[in-house]
Structure 1
Amino acid sequence: MEDHSLNLVLLEQMLEWLGLEADVAEDGERAVEMACGGVYRLVLMDIQLPGMDGVEAARQIRGRAGIIQPVIVAMTASAYLEERRRCLEAGMEDVLIKPFKLVDIKRVIDAYLEPD
């Protein structure tokens, strides 16, 4: 889930290079629906989503009982410690600071996803 179309295209390409597919939510509400209704192991959550922001979306996902909880990694342009703290307090496991590189995405994949 990403707030800017060019960043989204680049992120999708990076994931494809790593052999992964992405499903995209157009806003925070849809991100919650998808994460709670699907079987996602990893959610890359942009903080600046339209409507419900990524932090609130993460809180709502974490608040849903009975679902398999995915790893949620924030994506933000803010390198401020307060932003990172806000994301972690909402239940996200990690934060990627934009602009990120393929090696950054690979680090997240390697850290949080078990090989199939």
Structure 2
Amino acid sequence: MSKLAPVLLVEDHELNRDMLIRRLNRAGVEVIPAGDGQQALELMRSAQPRVVLMDMNLPIMDGWTACRTAREDDSIKHIPIIALTAHASEADRQQAMDAGCDDYATKPVDFPGLLAKIESLSETGN
């Protein structure tokens, strides 16, 4: 896979974040880390990532609120967001999509599937 740059990874659990950063880097993906929804919005505005991987259960501002806020902001509403969550029901998936997510991935992460989603959405993103 060619270098995909950059992807914003929003994950408050440090071990999960570090593991995903290492795996994404090995796959040729540049990663910008964030630990909460408010920081994610700030980094979306300043870094303009190709794709956002958004945990939904976050401190300060949760992922649902961050997604809805991003979709109302003309400077970042075009950036694709993939929900990353342990909530695996169809209702949870629909809630993420209703909040403005473009795709949905459950934890534990199917890494090849996640890479395919990143690659697909980075082609349609900014």
Q: Structure 1 length as normaliser, TM-score?
A: 0.90
CA distance in 1: counterparts of 2:57 and 2:97, whole angstroms: 16
Q: Does residue 16 in structure 1 map to residue 25 in structure 2?
A: yes
Q: Does residue 94 in structure 1 map to residue 103 in structure 2?
A: yes
Post-superposition shift, 1:21? Answer: 1.4
Counting matched residue pairs gives 114
Map of 1:55 onto structure 2: 64
Percent pairwise identity: 36
Q: Does residue 39 in structure 1 map to residue 62 in structure 2?
A: no
Q: Which has the higher strand share?
A: 2
Alignment RMSD, CA only? 1.4
CA distance in 2: counterparts of 1:94 and 1:67, whole angstroms: 16
Say if 1:66 and 1:2 are closer, same or farther in 2 by CA, change over 3 A: closer
CA contact (8 A) 1:15 1:22 kept: yes
Structure 1 gaps of 5+ residues are none
**Structure 1: which 4+ aligned runs deviate by more than 2 Å?**
none
CA distance in 1: counterparts of 2:84 and 2:120, whole angstroms: 16
Partner residue of 1:109 out of 99, 118, 122: 118
CA distance in 2: counterparts of 1:2 and 1:67, whole angstroms: 19
Letter in 2 for 1:33: E
Post-superposition shift, 1:68? Answer: 6.0
Q: Structure 2 length as normaliser, TM-score?
A: 0.83
Q: Does residue 5 in structure 1 map to residue 5 in structure 2?
A: no
Map of 1:71 onto structure 2: 80
Structure 2 gaps of 5+ residues are 1-9
Q: SS of the residue aligned with 2:78?
A: coil
